[in-house]
């Protein structure tokens, strides 16, 4: 089954307006995640607002019939993007979506915000 990374492309970290405002922090993270996921089995998509503004930058890791996760408080950089994709690959390999802590990339540790159980089949 496919694991998806959903990236909030409207996230803006504190102080965003004082910097280069040509793109949001979420857009910058989305571009990096998309590049890191290229050539893998992981799918990516962007949405405008995951409603986690106090935890920006936010992503969701989701797969049918699996535990789903929201992660946040990322700085939009390559290390974060690689960690997010690395975790998504472990999620994809897991039957339940649960990934043992020892397999978590360092870049996602401390970034989990919520966990959602899979939806019922009916």
Domains plus CATH for the chain?
Answer: 4-116 (3.40.30.10)
At 61 the pLDDT is 98
pLDDT tens per residue across span 32-91: 999 999 999 999 999 999 998 888 899 999 999 999 999 999 999 999 999 999 999 999
Provide the whole-model pTM. Answer: 0.93
At 13 the pLDDT is 81
At 32 the pLDDT is 98
Q: Work out the mean pLDDT of the chain and round it to a whole number.
A: 93
DSSP letter string, 2-63: --EEEEETT---TTGGGS-TTS-HHHHHHHHHHHHHTTSS-EEEEES--S-GGG-S-EEEE-
pLDDT tens per residue across span 4-38: 999 999 988 877 666 666 888 999 999 999 999 99
């Amino acid at each position: 089954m496919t694991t998806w990374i959903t990236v909030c492309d409207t996230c803006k970290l504190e102080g965003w307006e004082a910097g280069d405002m040509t793109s949001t922090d979420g857009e910058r993270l989305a571009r990096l995640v998309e590049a890191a996921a290229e050539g893998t089995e992981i799918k990516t998509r962007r949405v405008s607002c995951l409603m986690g503004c106090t935890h920006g930058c936010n992503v969701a890791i989701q797969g049918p019939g699996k535990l789903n996760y929201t992660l946040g408080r990322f700085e939009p950089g390559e290390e974060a993007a690689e960690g997010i994709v690395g975790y998504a690959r472990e999620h994809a390999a897991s039957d339940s979506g649960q990934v043992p802590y020892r397999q978590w990339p360092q870049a996602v540790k401390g970034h989990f915000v919520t966990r959602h159980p899979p939806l019922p089949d009916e």
